[in-house]
Amino acid sequence: MHSTSTTPRSAIWLPIFAGLCASLVSIGLARFAYTPLIPSLIQAQWFSASDVVYLGAANLVGYLIGALIGHPLARRVGNSTALRLMMLAVTLSFFACGFPLSVSWFFGWRLLSGVAGGAIMVLVAATVLPHVPVSRRGLASGAIFLGIGLGIAGSGTIVPPLLNLGLQNTWFGLGLLALVLTAASWFGWPTSTPQHSAPVNSGSETSPTPPGLYLLFAQYAFMAAGLVPAMVFLVDFVARGLGAGAHVGALIWVMYGLGAIVGPVSYGFLADKLGARLSIRIVLVVQAIALGLLAVSSSFMALALLAVILGSFPPGIVPLALARVHELVPNHHQQQIAWSRATVSFATFQALTGFAYSAIFNASGGHHALLFVLAAGAIVVALVLELAKHLVGASLLANRPAHPASR
């Protein structure tokens, strides 16, 4: 273990920087830069309004596929090569989206950008964190996933001026940015991988899964369900729902982006200091309250503050959940499997609830507050799941025979 901590600082920070670039390009930009582009795609008559929503879902579906194929791909070509390929795929998809040839062409490239995001999400931490001292891993994973926050904030600030150059040039501009970040991180990935690829078929995989891990998978899924409405409908809620206009909506999105920058590092730091389990509880309570308040708020100051709190959540829970996996599973190979499963459960619920919320929104005649209340409910369920597990555990202990009859 000492060898890791005596590694030169630059050797630790280079892979972290590469990880940050990967999460920025593949999720920060590939997913979140699409949100501010939606009105322009409709106005420029590239696609109809219903097609644009459908194309937005392509990225979420791709994300689920990527989470499933990330590890098989990495076993073929190695983690670092897989990560480089995925960043190139996103870059290519940006340039390809500059040509609105057909809905299926666009869908395919949006799907590919999602696949890259999912694969990077399951691989990036497993590639970088083994090179970081254990006591700093929460902070390090926060720094890696800070890229998502930078992408969310960047999407609110880069896209509007790019749109002045035209829609096609906006896609090319995003492609150029992705290309620069891919090149900057190209040699930052670790060349040597710690010896964890050997025990793939060893007994480690058959050792029992801790019950806490199943609880985490369920909690993480409900967290995904809880973050979708603010992520998708916040700007529309402010601009149209409250009648504050597009300008105020954009300002609130920048505040959301500010929260997204603060979230990963502060949540990761929290996990290092308080442990992941307690940190998850605290964060869930805060988010449930914030979503409840959002449903009844209309003043700019309240909305701005809530946007910062809610924005910290999507990228912030990633290092928290990852830290919890590391607490529950000691073996590195098992950690990778567990993290893949956690990401798949998150991606599945995110995609499903994305469609469900859109359907509820249309059926309710555009009722934003209802979606935020449902989201708060999902967060409360994530909290209650842990309480339920403790109650079940306590009742099992109470019913266990007092005499040591086990052999």
At 384 the pLDDT is 93
Show Cβ contacts of residue 104 under 8 Å, excluding neighbours closer than 6 positions: none
What is the structure's pLDDT at 3? 40
**pLDDT at res. 205:** 45
Q: pLDDT tens for residues 288-323? A: 999 999 999 989 999 999 999 999 999 899 889 989
The pLDDT assigned to 109 comes to: 94
The more confident residue out of 258 and 405 is 258
**How far apart, in whole angstroms, are the C-alpha atoms of residue 63 and residue 80?**
19
Q: What is the pLDDT of residue 393?
A: 65
Residue 363: per-residue pLDDT: 84
**How is residue 239 annotated by DSSP?**
I
Distance, in Å, from the CA atom of 298 to the CA atom of 371, rounded to the nearest integer, reads 16
Q: What superfamily does domain 209-393 belong to in CATH?
A: MFS general substrate transporter like domains (1.20.1250.20)
Query: From the CB of residue 16, how many other CB atoms can be counted at a distance below 10 Å?
Result: 23
The mean pLDDT of 344-350, rounded to a whole number, is 91
Q: Give tens-digit pLDDT for 153-200.
A: 888 788 888 888 988 999 999 999 999 999 999 998 887 655 443 344
User: Strand ranges (DSSP E) for 265-393?
Assistant: none
pLDDT per residue as tens digits for the range 390-404:
777 666 666 665 555
Between 354 and 370, residue with greater pLDDT? 370
List Cβ neighbours of 247 (8 Å cut-off, separation of 6 or more): none
Q: How many CB atoms lie within 10 A of CB 401?
A: 7
Res. 203: pLDDT tops 60: no
Domain ranges of the chain: 1-186, 209-393
| 350: enclosing H helix or E strand | helix 332-363
The pLDDT, as a whole number, for residue 401 is 57
Are the folds of 1-186 and 209-393 the same? yes
Confidence (pLDDT) at 278: 93
Pick from 36-40, 160-164, 281-285: least confident: 36-40
Gyration radius of the chain over CA positions: 21
Architecture of domain 1-186: Up-down Bundle (1.20)
Show the DSSP H helices in 24-102 as ranges.
34-43, 49-77, 79-96
Where does the pLDDT of residue 224 fall: very low under 50, low under 70, confident under 90, or very high at 90 and above?
very high
pLDDT at position 201 = 39
Q: What is the pLDDT of residue 1?
A: 37
**83 near 123, Cβ under 8 Å?**
yes
- pLDDT (0 to 100) of residue 5: 42
